[in-house]
Structure 1
Amino acid sequence: MKDNETLNKTRNVVIDAIAQNMNLYGITPSAGRLYGLLFFSDKPLTLDDMKEELGMSKTSMSNSVRSLLDLNMVEKVWVKGERKDLYTIKEDWYQCFFDFFSIKWRTAITTNSSAMEKSIAHLQELVDDPDTSDEIREHAQKDIKKLEERMEYYEWQNRLIDSFETREILNFIPIEKDKE
C-alpha cells in the first residue's frame, strides 16, 4: 500500500509541474493536469475516465481535451468495441514541441505582420501626400523603416518555423547529443 502511495505522490509531483509549465505557454493548468494524467496512463482514456480521475467538470474537461487536440499534443484513438472517444498523448515529444511552437508562432507572426503591413501602407500614403508636413513625413518614414526591419525578423521566424515543420532543425540540433 505504501508503495502505491509513493508511486501516486511522485506522479502527482510531475503532473503538477507539467500543469505549471503549460500555464507559462498559455495552456490552462487543468489541461496541463489532463496531459500529465494521459502521460502516466497505460491505456487511452475516455472523457468520463479523465473526469473521474481529475474531478474536473465535463465542460472544463472537454475544453482541455479540445485545446490539447488543437495543439497536436493528444490524439483521439479507436479501440474495437469502445463506443466513447478515447484519448492518448502523442508519444513524439519532439514533434509535439515543433507543432506547439509552430502553431503559436505562426498565429502571432500572421497577426503582427498583417498589422504592420497595413500600417506601412497607411504611413506610405502620409509620406506620399503633398499636404503632409515635413515633421510628420519624417516620423512616418522612420516608422516605416522600423516596421520593415521587424518584418525581416518575422520572415526569419517563418524560416525557423519551416525548419521545425520539415524537421530540418534536427540537422543542426540532433535529438541525440553527440557522445564524445
Structure 2
Amino acid sequence: MATGDSLNGHVEEGRSANGTGRSLHPILQAVNDSMLEGLGQLADYFGYNRVIGKMYGALLLSPEPMSLDDLVEHLSVSKASVSMNMRMLENLGVVREVWVRGDRRKFYEAESDFWKILTNVLGARELRDVNQALEVLEGNIQHLREAIPSMDQADQALANYYVGRIDQMKDFFRFAKLILTSILERSRDINVSDIKRIDIE
C-alpha cells in the first residue's frame, strides 16, 4: 500500500473516521489513507477507476455500514461519482446494501470474503472479455476464409498466414476460458477460512 512520511509520524491530527463522526489517531489515519490509496492504485491496475478502489477500502475499514453521504465526506468526491461507482461495486458483488434501523438512507458494507470477490470479478468481467475476444477472432477467421476464393495468389497466401496466426491466438483464449471456468467451478467447494498454510515449492 502507499508509503511515505504519513506512516513515519509526520501527519496532521486525523480527519473524521469512516462514518463515525470522530477524529482518528494520526497513525490510524495514516494507515487508512495508505490502504485507500493502495486499493485505488490496485483498481486502476485492473482497469477500474481509483474511486472504486478507495470506496471499497473505506467500506472495508469501517466497523459500521456507510451511507453515500459518509463516503462523499470521507473521500472528498462528488455524490454523483460515489453513486455511479457504488452501482458498479454492487454489480461486481464486492459490496452490499444493508438496512440501518431508524435511517431511511441507503447504507453499504464491504464483502470481506476475498475469494468470493475474486470469483465475482473473474465471472463478471474476465470471462466475459475472453468470450468477446473469441467471438472477434472467430469472426475474423470466417471473414478471411469466405474472402480467400476472390483473392489473387499473393493475397491468398497472406490471408492464410493471417488465419494461422489468429487461430493460434484463438487457441490461447480457449485455454484461458478453460482455466477461468475451472477456477470458478472449483471456488464453490473452497472455504478459504479452512486454509491454514500454503506450501510453495
- Per the TM superposition, whether the score is higher than 0.5 is yes
Q: Label 1:168 to 1:62 Cα distance change in 2 as closer, same or farther (>3 A).
A: closer
Q: Label 1:166 to 1:60 Cα distance change in 2 as closer, same or farther (>3 A).
A: same
Matched, 1:46 2:46: no
1:7 to 7, 25, 28: 28
**1:78 to partner: Cα distance:** 2.8
In structure 1, runs of 5+ residues without a counterpart are: none
Residue 76 of structure 1 corresponds to which residue in structure 2?
97
Residue 177 of structure 1 corresponds to which residue in structure 2?
197
Residue 136 of structure 1 corresponds to which residue in structure 2?
155
Residue 32 of structure 1 corresponds to which residue in structure 2?
53
The whole-number CA distance in structure 2 between the counterparts of 1:56 and 1:95 is 28
**1:9 to partner: Cα distance:** 1.3
TM-score by length of 2: 0.77
- Check whether the contact 1:102–1:164 (CA below 8 A) recurs between aligned residues: no
Q: Label 1:80 to 1:103 Cα distance change in 2 as closer, same or farther (>3 A).
A: same
Matched, 1:156 2:175: yes
* 1:51-79 superposed Cα distances (whole Å, 9 cap, x missing partner): 12222111111122112112221112233
* 1:80-138 superposed Cα distances (whole Å, 9 cap, x missing partner): 443222111111111111221332222321222222111111111122x2x42111111
Residue 104 of structure 1 corresponds to which residue in structure 2?
125
**1:30 to partner: Cα distance:** 1.5
Residue correspondence of structure 1 range 58-97 to structure 2 within 5 A: 58-97=79-118
**1:153 to partner: Cα distance:** 1.3
Residue 7 of structure 2 corresponds to which residue in structure 1?
none
Please give the secondary structure, in 1, of the residue aligned with 2:97: strand
95-104 or 77-86, larger mean C-alpha shift: 77-86
Please give the secondary structure, in 2, of the residue aligned with 1:87: strand
Report the AA paired with residue 94 of structure 2: M
> Taking every aligned residue pair, what percent have the same amino acid on both sides?
22
- Check whether the contact 2:60–2:111 (CA below 8 A) recurs between aligned residues: no
TM-score by length of 1: 0.85
25-34 or 1-10, larger mean C-alpha shift: 1-10
Residue 37 of structure 2 corresponds to which residue in structure 1?
16
- Check whether the contact 1:46–1:84 (CA below 8 A) recurs between aligned residues: yes
Q: Label 1:176 to 1:169 Cα distance change in 2 as closer, same or farther (>3 A).
A: farther
Kindly report the root-mean-square deviation, in angstroms, between the aligned alpha carbons of the 2 structures. 2.6
In structure 2, runs of 5+ residues without a counterpart are: 1-12, 15-23
Please give the secondary structure, in 2, of the residue aligned with 1:166: helix
